[in-house]
Amino acid sequence: MLPSFSNSDHDLPKKSNTLELRNSTFSFIKSLFSLKNCAWIVLTILVQLLIVVFMNRASLWPSTLPAIRDNFQAPPHEKDCEFGRVYVYDLPPVLNKELIENCQDLDPWPWSSKYCSAVSNGGFGPSATGLDGIVPENLIPAWYWTEMYAAEVIYHERILSYKCRTTNLDEATAFYIPFYVGLAVGKYLWFNHTADDRDRHSLIMLNWVKDQPSWKRTNGSDHFIMLGRLTWDFRRLHDSDTEWGTSFLYMPLMKNILHLTVERSQWDELEFSVPYPTAFHPRFQSDIQQWQSYIRARKRASLFCFVGATRKSFKNDFRGLLMNYCKNESDSCRLVDCSVTHCYDGAPVILKTFLDSDFCLQPKGDGFTRRSTFDCMLFGAIPVYFWEGSFKDQYKWHLPVAAEAYSVFVDNNEVRNGTDIRSVLERYSREEFDIAEDLSHLGVNGSNRLHFKPVLDSVMVSCHHIWCLNLGGGLCYS
């Protein structure tokens, strides 16, 4: 059993033991991302879940780590930074800055130049265009064509201006390693690159960090890193050139470092998922409020929609099944076929489709989770999942553990067996998932009632405007 630190004194964390350090680091990082501190509410969904959070906050934190909950007591003078301060390492440029500068080299398909645009504007990507009539005019400047794997760049950019950042190593509760490992490995994932190619940057980073005095104090248990890609890209098991990914997360020096990723492995207690970046990067709290009012007032013409492409190489491809189903149900389903339409991240046709639908079908993609789910929720549509892995153990800091509070689950096998998706969705009346002004309705209690678009205003907690780091609607600081 983990010891309880609830009576711990107010010592600076560096004087504590490793576990306590780990705990304080957890609390700190959690505080960066937690709903408590930010209005991440860009997603409609969140509205509701915030209330769930307030009612039942404890249940959001990983139950396997009871001791991390509310244990860390910040030093008494830390009025503004309740959870402590973060130190951002100044890494060798080859691990971040040079990757951006040489962005044309990042792409496995050099002609696409996708990465150069992806890493522009501090990871937000190019300003969005073509959103007239989809997004209120005054909000258009808050939209960018953000790439789904840009989180590590955005995160770094934002944390540099974070008010609880410290440049004094002795003052830090947590140490952030701004290594763009997803960008570094991206190019080497494909073709006949070697395992060494895939691991090179990771080894440079670990060899560098292990010599830092701040590392030696704790062996990394107060260190954290953001991984822009799905966790599966960092978990190569063998030293084989033909096996996918880098072995980064299995390198011995990684064993204490907490990692954030857009899709986590449920077997890794040191890994936490945070939403994929979306296209919306609100500048002020008022941007968020305006957006919320806008999507809440929207009259939606379609019951559900499907955005995706079939995967011809897959036998029994579930996406193909959904696509055919959607075509057949054209009265209630709106289809964007990405083998015909160019479906880049945040394409207006996709966003418009979400805006006009009550539900969006979300089969698994490369992993169990999809960026598209967050685009969908951002536009006020409700995700329909077909695999448990798409929500189970994911986004615990951002979404309610009770997935039925904000989404619908229909097992993919049942769909194959003839369960009619449309009939399932029709069981939810519009009233049930329309604005619930009465807060007493907002609990998950109440079986399959989706309180999807309730009052945001009461839960617009202290989001300090530009410190709202929008990843999929809002990793916030402060």
Ligand X SMILES: *[C@@H]1O[C@H](CO)[C@@H](O)[C@H](O)[C@H]1NC(C)=O
| Site residues (vs ligand X, CB under 6 A) | 18, 191-192, 218-219, 324-325, 328, 411, 413-414, 417, 445, 447
Considering beta carbons, is residue 298 or 441 the nearer one to ligand X?
Answer: 441
Residues 6+ apart with CB under 8 A from 2: 19, 65, 66, 67
Q: Quick one: which of 136, 152, 198, 151 has its CA closest to 351?
A: 136
Considering beta carbons, is residue 162 or 215 the nearer one to ligand X?
Answer: 215
**C-alpha torsion 410→413→418→423, nearest 10:** 0
* CB 416, min distance to ligand X, A: 7
Considering beta carbons, is residue 216 or 238 the nearer one to ligand X?
Answer: 216
Considering beta carbons, is residue 192 or 242 the nearer one to ligand X?
Answer: 192
* CB 333, min distance to ligand X, A: 11
> To which residue do tokens 């007493």 refer?
440
Angle, helices 44-56/285-297, rounded to nearest 10 degrees: 110
* CB 327, min distance to ligand X, A: 8
Q: The tokens of 50 are what? A: 């915030």
Q: Quick one: which of 316, 308, 328 has its CA closest to 421?
A: 328
Long-range contacts of 392-397 (CB under 8 A, 24+ apart): 392/266, 393/264, 393/266, 394/263, 394/264, 394/273, 394/368, 394/369, 395/273, 395/274, 395/275, 396/60, 396/61, 396/62, 396/272, 396/273, 397/30, 397/33, 397/34, 397/35, 397/60, 397/61, 397/272, 397/274
Considering beta carbons, is residue 220 or 454 the nearer one to ligand X?
Answer: 220
* CB 420, min distance to ligand X, A: 9
Q: The tokens of 183 are what? A: 């960008």
Residue 151 and residue 374: Cα distance in Å, rounded?
Answer: 14
* CB 418, min distance to ligand X, A: 8
* CB 458, min distance to ligand X, A: 20
Considering beta carbons, is residue 167 or 324 the nearer one to ligand X?
Answer: 324
**C-alpha torsion 371→372→373→378, nearest 10:** 100
Considering beta carbons, is residue 234 or 325 the nearer one to ligand X?
Answer: 325
* CB 323, min distance to ligand X, A: 11
* CB 447, min distance to ligand X, A: 6
Task: Give the neighbor-by-neighbor strand order of the sheet with 357-362.
Answer: 333-337, 302-308, 357-362, 382-385, 408-409
Considering beta carbons, is residue 151 or 333 the nearer one to ligand X?
Answer: 333
